[in-house]
Amino acid sequence: MFSSPNNKVKYILVLIVIFLISFQSAWAAGPPAPSLFSNPLALILIILMILLLIIIAILAGILVGAADVKLKKRKKGNSSVVTSGLMILFLLSGSSLLAQDVAADTTTTTVAKTIGGMPASTFYIMATVIFLELGLIIALLINIRFLLKNEKEKLVVADEPETIEAKKNKLSWWDRMNKLRPVSQEAELDLGHEYDGIRELNNKLPPWWLYGFYLTIIFAVVYLWRFHVSHTGPSSQQEYEISIAKAELKTQEYLKAKGDAVDENTVTLLKGTEDLAAGKIIYMKSCASCHTETGAGNVGPNLTDNYWIHGNDVKSIFKTIRYGINAMPQWQNTYSNKQLAQVTSYIKTLVGTNPPNGKAAQGTEMKDEVPAAKPAADSATVKEIK
């Protein structure tokens, strides 16, 4: 941005004069107000502005040194414009600060807006200056990069043909490791096969690819010997069976801990008062609509006599309730296996109660081998679907 050391000195003197003008009224106003430099935020912003100005000066010097004569002349004109802009900016900032000081002296009833203990206008002015400096730094960096790129292109053009050819034939470490050939030797590798502008070259496969392929062959031999010859490891089928057995074991342990590890093969008659009471609740909710509350039968068969369509033992009744029969729903989708065992045990208590208006017998006569527990005296007699 600066065309010569003399100009730099002039610009620095101008900045010093601007700062002196900015604060002259504060010195002439009698006892000074709290100094702006006593505010930590203001100090940080001022130091930041000074640092950015130093960076701008350094970058401007680099730019002037890297540019040619024409560019120097153009930048000289631009520097005067930028300098004028900075002078106007600092003058405006100084006048704003002075205006605030005067307002602070003349107005005692108005509370000024502050940011970090600073007047809001002062903070915004400092922030604007910092952003302008940052924009100027970015512009200088772009110009420096542009100049360096042009100089690099000039150097490449100035190289001798032999040097350019040597650079073309130079291979990177990756190309050398893969045993690649330079572009200048493509004619020696051409196999004479070409299609749609694509030529086939006799390039060797990269070593890393070949070694990886050899490694897969070794792995295949070891795998074949271990799993299909010596059988020292489990086959895929055996691994599947082992995983299924482990999953089944975990399932049984979970159901057992939950109290639900029962099915049509392991269910037994429950005689506990709590189990029968829970079974009665389920029966009244889901079974009484078809078998009536007493089990006498309605849409469904009579559950209180000795005639059964699908068996009268606990396992048969449990299976019928769980999976359903004909229009009877599958209650396994609604209740847990433990709950199905409870309602099964409750149904067994209804056998032999002989409620009035019982439905005619259906199915085959069957006698209970094990007497069922009887419900409590205050419980309603209910039955279940066969």
Q: Which two tokens stand for residue 368?
A: 């209970």
pLDDT of residue 102 exceeding 50:
no
287, 142: one domain? no
168, 286: one domain? no
Residue 65 inside a domain? The answer is yes
Q: Which residue in this structure is represented by tokens 């259906």? A: 362
Q: Express each pLDDT in 355-364 by its tens digit.
A: 888 888 888 8
Among candidates 284, 283, 259, 272, which has minimal Cα distance to 336? 259
Let me know: does 121 contact 96? Beta carbons within 8 Å: yes
Name the amino acid, one letter, at 296: A
192, 320: one domain? no
Length of the chain: 386
17, 149: one domain? yes
Let me know: does 318 contact 248? Beta carbons within 8 Å: no
pLDDT of residue 21 exceeding 90:
no
Using only the alpha carbons of the chain, give its radius of gyration. Answer: 49
Q: For residue 190, give its domain range.
A: 164-201
Report residue 232 CA to chain centroid gap: 43
101, 190: one domain? no
Residue 235 inside a domain? The answer is no
Number of domains in the chain: 3
Q: Tell me how far apart the terminal alpha carbons of the chain are, to the nearest angstrom.
A: 101
pLDDT of residue 337 exceeding 50:
yes
78 in helix, strand or coil?
A: helix
Report residue 22 CA to chain centroid gap: 54
| pLDDT band of 32, cuts 50, 70, 90 | low
Given 127, 158, 189, the domain boundary residue is 158
Residue 256 inside a domain? The answer is no
10, 80: one domain? yes
119, 179: one domain? no
Q: Please give the biggest Cα pair distance in the chain.
A: 125
Given 124, 158, 192, the domain boundary residue is 158
Q: Which two tokens stand for residue 277?
A: 């009471």
Half-sphere exposure of 273 (CA within 13 A, CB side): 4
Residue 259 inside a domain? The answer is no
Residue 70 inside a domain? The answer is yes
Among candidates 264, 257, 63, which has minimal Cα distance to 145? 63
| pLDDT band of 373, cuts 50, 70, 90 | low
Q: Which residue in this structure is represented by tokens 């419900």? A: 375
Residue 80 inside a domain? The answer is yes
Q: Which two tokens stand for residue 50?
A: 């000074």
Q: Express each pLDDT in 183-216 by its tens digit.
A: 777 777 788 888 888 888 887 788 888 889 999 9
Q: Which two tokens stand for residue 155?
A: 């150097």
182, 316: one domain? no
21, 152: one domain? yes
78, 9: one domain? yes
Mean confidence (pLDDT) of the chain? 75
Among candidates 254, 284, 261, which has minimal Cα distance to 346? 284
Q: In this predicted structure, what is the pLDDT of residue 240?
A: 93
Residue 302 inside a domain? The answer is yes
Q: In this predicted structure, what is the pLDDT of residue 215?
A: 96
Residue 308 inside a domain? The answer is yes
Q: Which two tokens stand for residue 12?
A: 């620095």
